[in-house]
Structure 1
Amino acid sequence: MSESGQTWRREFQAHPAEARQVREWVDTRLGHPDAPQVANELFVSVLASGTETVLMTLSTAGSRARVTAAGSVELKLHHSHGPGFFIVHGLSTLSGLNTDGRGLWAQLDSKTEGTEQ
């Protein structure tokens, strides 16, 4: 199985109306059915921190996809572990807080033929 992949980055204004654009952008790049919802929850969590923009990054490698949302303000505990955390945790394989504390990420795995997950 090839582990090569792609990475896309896009900066969105930190405004609730941008959430729809985030979901559409993610949906056009990742084939995972849960990716738009996960991206939405990550975006909204970072948006709530008070940052001016949210940088969304999508990366793929083999059957894995990683969605990251980052801002310029350190997230408080209720931003990184609020209600959206349970949605992200339930839909992703792994998730966490960026090392600088200003963003969140989630990994999504796709089932491939002949493997069990």
Structure 2
Amino acid sequence: MEARHVHLWVAGRVRHLDAPTIAHELYVAILSSGAPAVEMTLSTAGPRIRITALGPEQLPLLYSHGPGWQIITGLANISGLTTDECGLWAQVGTSR
């Protein structure tokens, strides 16, 4: 999946203005770390939307807190590194 397709994929599934941008930044961060593939998941529960991007290996610190991280943290309600440290996630509500 290309970064543009990630943006469109999320935009077509949830109604939150920032969700496509957040998904794009998560995807680019994992891909930029050298991951040959990125697994994207989108979960919803009530008003919450959680977007996760996973790679096959642990992320170097630069990619888990690089320039795109400022965009993600600025738009998401909460965000973080997955417990296995192979991915990043962000959560937003539906009010934005």
Q: TM-score, normalised by structure 2?
A: 0.96
Structure 1 runs of 4+ off > 2 angstroms?
none
1:44 Cα deviation from its structure 2 partner: 0.5
**Greater share of strand:** 1
1:22 matched residue in structure 2: 6
TM-fit CA distance, 1:111: 2.3
Partner of residue 43, structure 1: 27
Identity %: 53
Unaligned runs of at least 5 residues, structure 2: none
Q: CA deviation at 1:51?
A: 1.2
Please list the CA deviations of residues 37-63 of structure 1 after superposition, one character each: whole Å capped at 9, or x if unmatched: 000000000001211110000000000
Which one of 83, 87, 94 corresponds to residue 78 of structure 2?
A: 94
**For the residues of structure 1 that align with 2:14 and 2:53, how far apart are their CA atoms?**
15
Q: Which runs of 5+ in 1 are unaligned?
A: 1-11, 13-17, 113-117
Relative to total residues, which structure has the larger helix share, 1 or 2?
A: 2
Asked if the contact 1:49/1:74 (under 8 Å) is kept, the reply is no
Aligned positions, number: 96
